[in-house]
Amino acid sequence: MSTQHLSEQEIIRREKLQELQKLGIDPYPAPLYPVNITAEKIKQEYKGEENKADFADVCLAGRIMAFRDMGKASFAKIQDSTGTIQVYIKRDEICPGEDKTLYDKVWKHLIDIGDIVGVKGYVFTTKTGETSIHVTELTFLTKSLKPLPIVKEKDGETFDAVTDPEFRYRQRYVDLIINPTVKDTFLKRSQLINTIRDYLNAQGALEVDTPVLQAIPGGAAARPFITHHNALDVPFYLRIANELYLKRLIVGGFDWVYEFSRNFRNEGMDRTHNPEFTVLEWYTAYKDYFWMMEITEQLFEKIANTLHNTTKVQVGEKEIDFKAPFRRISIYDAIKEHTGFDVSNMNESELREVCKKLNIHTEASMGKGKLIDELFGEKCEMHYIQPTFIIDYPVEMSPLTKKHRSKAGLVERFELMVNGKEIANAYSELNDPIDQRERFEEQAELLKRGDDEAMYIDNDFLRALEYGMPPTSGIGIGIDRLVMLMTNQPSIQDVLLFPQMRPEKTGE
């Protein structure tokens, strides 16, 4: 066994591993171990003399996080998936015969913090009032060959926690072990997704799956990841959105479909952007964007209540209230409110001049829609802390959206802004195949001008529209950003179990 690149502690642990094997103890035994309880259940339900008979034969497994040697007896902390609990180990009880090797040799000298053990025994309360397990049988389950970072705990409070993001995101498995609040974030993420799924299913929506590998990266304005399909010998793209496939299903006769879509966009990374992210999209026939705003308000209010038992959620130093209804304001009015410029009737050159006056950087490839988007993004969106629907976008910004029924040059679209960021984007969907083709062709011209986020022409989707798609409303909700809000996390990396990282530097 090479020890060239191992630390002193790692070398010692490997020596202990060999000692265990010499004693006939398998450091990695078969996985079956008859666990019948959790640390959380014991702490919540054990009432002392009142119900101690119910806890007279418990079996628990977990990782050793601390121990205190008292000679012929020891206390230790064991952490399972639900939390930590104290165990009391007495030499003569786990070694009832003359052979005391399990205690004197294995427990005291060959077991380390981070090792995984199984314990059987009964629950009791110590003289200091701590609920604990009195161990009568100890089983070695896994030897840990790397030492855990040391995290101190006193009176239930954790301090000296590991906070280095590079370590935490790259070695999330260790982060989950040593930082107790991290697991709670991901439990809440799962609870949030299940709340949405239960809500949509109760409304009659159908969950579906659509392709991740796509011949044309459609449904959004974004730069795709490109790959190659060897069997077909053609380029393919990781999806930037699932919108056009879900609309095909509306054409096919489904009234309401949804998907939690893992999307990929070959763009920048920062505290609110990750190249791989999760979006919920749904499309509902015979509905419009007014209906969609009401449903979205109801859903967000339900999520807040489910996770926090209130509509008010603490996000940093701000309290955000998800109580419906939310404020509504047009994008033109929002720009006027925060810049003083009425851009509603401006052409491309006039918009470019406004951007110049406001010190907003622009590119020659940007058309009218991109310029308005820059204006709103740079000067407006950060002001919308409480949930606000930004509505009625110019047609140039929304190539997949139905034209407004009463306002020329606009489309029936909203973005939901919360805490200064877009959380959801919704339309009354464009179902006119001739209009859609013209807008795709306008996007193709932007591609020629160098806009690598402009949309491709999807001829199969146009063919589907020609068969007839009923009036439809659709929405996309950024799940990662929503989880950030609902769990009070400042960075998208804190709500992704394994965020993208630069390749790890290796070497001696």
The residue that leads in pLDDT, 454 or 47, is: 47
pLDDT tens for 247-294 read 999 999 999 999 999 999 998 888 888 999 999 999 999 999 999 999
47 and 90 share a domain? yes
User: 363 in a domain, yes or no?
Assistant: no
Contact indicator for 106, 20 with CB cutoff of 8 Å:
yes
> Distance between the two ends of the chain, CA-based, in angstroms?
17
pLDDT at 271: 86
282 and 400 share a domain? yes
CA distance 359 to 397: 21
Buried b (16+ CB within 10 A) or exposed e, 450-472: ebebbbbbbeebeebbeeebeeb
pLDDT at 150: 76
Domain interval for residue 83: 8-148
pLDDT at 159: 52
User: 243 in a domain, yes or no?
Assistant: yes
pTM to 2 decimal places: 0.88
Helices within 358-491 (DSSP H only): 368-379, 433-448, 459-467, 479-487
Average pLDDT of the residues of the chain: 93
Q: For residue 247, what are the contacts with CB-CB under 8 A and spacing of at least 6?
A: 283, 429, 461, 464, 465, 469, 472, 474
Q: Of 76-80, 153-157, 293-297, which gets the smallest average pLDDT? A: 153-157
Rounded mean pLDDT of 333-349?
Answer: 95
CATH no. for residue 406? 3.30.930.10
Annotated binding site: 415, 422
Contact indicator for 324, 297 with CB cutoff of 8 Å:
yes
Query: What does the block give as tokens for 409?
Result: 């040059």
Q: How confident is the model at residue 508 (pLDDT cuts 50, 70, 90)?
A: very low
297 and 415 share a domain? yes
- H/E stretch holding 243 reads helix 243-251
CA distance 498 to 273: 14
Helices vs. strands in the chain: H and E counts, helices first: 15, 20
Best CA proximity match to 287, nearest among 473, 476, 431, 429? 473
Residues paired with residue 213 on neighbouring β-strands, in sequence order? 238
pLDDT tens for 12-23 read 999 999 999 999
User: 344 in a domain, yes or no?
Assistant: no
**Which of 70-74, 440-444, 463-467 holds the top average pLDDT?**
463-467
Q: Where is the domain boundary, 148, 173, 200?
A: 148
CA distance 279 to 122: 47
Residues paired with residue 69 on neighbouring β-strands, in sequence order? 74
Angle of helix 289-308 relative to helix 180-202, nearest 10 degrees, comes to 140
User: 356 in a domain, yes or no?
Assistant: no
% of the chain surpassing 90 pLDDT: 81
Q: Where is the domain boundary, 93, 122, 148?
A: 148
Look at the block and give the residue holding tokens 């009432």: 47
pLDDT surpassing 80 at residue 144: yes
Annotated binding site for Mg(2+): 415, 422
CATH no. for residue 116? 2.40.50.140
User: 349 in a domain, yes or no?
Assistant: no
143 and 188 share a domain? no
User: 352 in a domain, yes or no?
Assistant: no
- Count the domains in the chain: 2
Other CB atoms within 10 Å distance of the CB of residue 204: 9
- H/E stretch holding 207 reads strand 206-207
135 and 252 share a domain? no
317 and 459 share a domain? yes
Query: Quick one: how far is CA 110 from the chain centroid?
Result: 39
- Its sign, for the CA torsion 407, 413, 416, 417, is negative
CA distance 418 to 386: 6
* SS3 state of residue 355: helix
Peptide bond into 275 cis (omega under 30): no
pLDDT at 466: 97
73 and 218 share a domain? no
141 and 202 share a domain? no
406 and 268 share a domain? yes
282 and 408 share a domain? yes
pLDDT surpassing 60 at residue 507: no
130 and 258 share a domain? no
User: 116 in a domain, yes or no?
Assistant: yes
pLDDT at 3: 58
pLDDT tens for 200-237 read 999 999 999 999 999 988 888 788 999 999 999 999 99
% of the chain surpassing 70 pLDDT: 96
pLDDT at 219: 84
pLDDT tens for 124-138 read 999 999 999 999 999
pLDDT at 456: 81
The type of residue at 76 is: A
- What are the strands of the beta sheet with 234-238, ordered from one edge? 213-214, 234-238, 226-229
Quote the DSSP letter at residue 131: E
Q: Is 358 exposed, middle or buried (0-12, 13-18, 19+ CB in 10 A)?
A: middle
pLDDT tens for 170-188 read 999 999 999 988 999 999 9
CA distance 358 to 360: 6
Rounded mean pLDDT of 443-455?
Answer: 79
41 and 188 share a domain? no
pLDDT at 158: 53
User: 350 in a domain, yes or no?
Assistant: no
Q: How confident is the model at residue 153 (pLDDT cuts 50, 70, 90)?
A: low
Q: Is 199 exposed, middle or buried (0-12, 13-18, 19+ CB in 10 A)?
A: middle
